[in-house]
Chains A and B, each alone.
Chain A
């Protein structure tokens, strides 16, 4: 009874690949009609149950499962059913075709006027789409579109330092304003000491691994007195790609005597961080301890231009990237002054570059005037050193006072 063996295979097995003892779904389909199987099942009822139990106990199918299920002489009529992927594929194809025709149909019903509007003025269309998506443009739709158009035409003014006031006011500062207001919750004190007109030299402490403090200072001063602060930066800023571009466009120029004097002579508000990289890259343990204030070049520039020096203390910048180690070997290899290791960087990659949300206080001190000294005083090292020390002490004392008042680094 050759048939009987095949009937045995048509057990109560679940559809699937089958195992050594149970056939696969396709093998079961090969089995003879129900009636014959029933009769046979009736005969072999007792051994069927233990087989089923064994199957549940050992559900893992073995790779040889198909061998017993394959009929010795495949019937040619089964040929089409032997490839189960074929119907699925054709179904998928017809589904895709349906989708495509649907898309074509919806294209027909597309609001053609809107598409035409987009083609006529893509900038305006994109701006309005962005607005419906929730982008908060500063001005009206037309104004924003006009702004983007002038930018694309290159029709905007930059000054001799490469400062692009339009870009700074419309793009750079709004982004930083969010950071300053919501993330660092900057508190400004002594804003009345900022000069509304005429030039002045802001001298500030520098900290935080990355020069975010300069950017925040720019934002804060612009919001207080509507004037751009022109920063003086180290040459590394101008050597580094993108940093050069951003710095020049937002009004930073090289910290050298010539540029400082040129800015101060043209009635600008200039900010300088005399600590430089010594301050920026100092370990977290040394936080709020002012480093050496350069060689006093900023003081002689201020004396020569006879402008007041405004000592500025920034509290909060030290905590944004607490610097644990500097890895001098890696820094040398990369050509940077230090390679920062913080609790989050480089372990968390880009995420580690998110500054910690410390609470910032920026205090502008009373101006130290230099105009009664006379221009010759710039050549007198003793006067220059004395004023440098005076500025440094003022900032250091202000920092200590603010730290005493601050409840915690983050609140």
Chain B
């Protein structure tokens, strides 16, 4: 009997990890082991959950004991608050990846690695091209925050690919997730009652629906597509468009004051920002996704606009959302018509 493939998925307590583990487990030829430090709140389907920390050498025992051949690394933390501080975030992202890859490198059965990376590796600056291809590097190297972590993760992944040439390594740089119920710094930012934004800039945002993200990550898990790929919806949405669709009034903040405002917003525990994310919401950035489409034929089902639209329909309507404006106008006209009736 052809041995059943065994896949190890990290970070399954989070929404994306759980969705991925569930989808992968639903396919019968794969046995899925989900790993995280906290028990999953989401349904993992037929996937098996192992409570373990990837920063702990016990992970290599799991890999060896279960004969894991595919590792899907999704345990990245994009914002410091959710990890309990910047140093803890770095610990999880960078040290966690190092430990996991070290464990993988020793494993005999290990054949394939799929790593989730991020659009943050491209940084954001006024000198950016309109769309980044995989061969381009950041014009302004991200020196802090998630961007830097992503760069370091990718460099460790490249190191593993060098040392284990027999392993097929795929790195997917995902755009910001957007869709109903997505909780990220971008969705929290767009959901503020009044949104502070940098004056005079209209960032280009590119999104990816979680279902497309899962589908995109399933592709290299099943097929062999070594390399680094951008994964995102092809179109872009500007920040002002997104705010108008959300019905959120915005207030302009002069660019030099933006970090201060971000700090205040962070301290008020409204959103969790890292410094490089302010630049992304100022200058905007987008990725060219043609390489992944050419290599795998994968086309996202949701465009950025459609993903945003889904998020808007599930989110709390903003102060200026069409429904609120319409109901306010209806109320005014009711009052007025009542007045005319009374007035004769």
Residues of A within 8 A of B (CB): 108, 112-113, 115-116, 119-122, 151-156, 158-162, 164, 235-236, 238-245, 248-249, 253-254, 256, 258-259, 262
Contact = CB atoms under 8 A, between A and B. Distances in A.
B129 A162 contact: no
B237 to A, nearest CB: 8
Interface of B: 126-131, 133, 136, 198-202, 204, 234-238, 240-245, 254-255, 283-284, 286, 322, 329, 332-333, 336-337, 339-340, 343
Contacts of B202: 162, 244-245, 248-249
Contacts of B337: 116
B343 A108 contact: yes
A160 B200 contact: no
B247 to A, nearest CB: 9
A154 B128 contact: no
Given A112-B336, A248-B202, 19 more contacts: A112-B343, A113-B340, A119-B333, A119-B336, A120-B329, A153-B245, A158-B237, A158-B241, A162-B284, A164-B238, A235-B127, A241-B255, A243-B200, A244-B202, A245-B201, A245-B202, A254-B127, A256-B129, A258-B129
A112 B245 CA distance: 32
A253 B129 CA distance: 8
A162 B204 contact: yes
Contacts of B127: 235, 238, 254, 256
A160 B130 contact: yes
A161 B130 contact: yes
Contacts of B241: 154, 156, 158
Minimum-distance CB pairs A-B, first 4: A241-B200, A154-B244, A242-B200, A238-B126
A3 B127 CA distance: 94
Contacts of A161: 130
Given A108-B343, A241-B201, A254-B127, A160 B236 contact: yes
28 contacts: A108-B343, A112-B336, A112-B339, A112-B343, A113-B340, A115-B336, A116-B336, A116-B340, A120-B333, A151-B244, A154-B244, A156-B241, A158-B238, A161-B130, A162-B202, A162-B204, A235-B126, A238-B126, A240-B200, A241-B198, A241-B201, A244-B283, A245-B201, A248-B202, A254-B126, A256-B127, A256-B129, A258-B133
Contacts of A253: 129-130
> Interface of chain A, helix or strand or loop or mixed?
helix
Contacts of B240: 154
Nearest to A149: B322
A262 B200 contact: no
Contacts of A152: 244
Given A241-B199, A241-B200, A254 B283 contact: no
Contact of B129 (A108, A249, A254): A254
B131 A162 contact: no
B337 to A, nearest CB: 6
B136 A258 contact: yes
A158 B126 contact: no
A8 B199 CA distance: 74
Contacts of B128: 254
Nearest to B127: A235
A242 B322 CA distance: 27
A258 B243 CA distance: 30
A245 B200 contact: yes
A54 B202 CA distance: 76
B138 to A, nearest CB: 13
Nearest to A238: B126
Contacts of A160: 130-131, 204, 234-236, 286
A29 to B, nearest CB: 51
A92 to B, nearest CB: 31
Contacts of A108: 343
A222 B136 CA distance: 33
Contacts of B198: 241
A376 to B, nearest CB: 20
Given A120-B329, A154-B243, A262 B130 contact: yes
A151 B244 CA distance: 9
Contact of B126 (A112, A115, A239): A239
Contacts of B255: 241
A30 B258 CA distance: 70
Nearest to A237: B126
Nearest to B234: A160
A162 B238 contact: yes
A152 B245 CA distance: 8
A22 to B, nearest CB: 60
Contacts of A249: 202
A242 B130 CA distance: 18
A112 B244 contact: no
Nearest to A109: B343
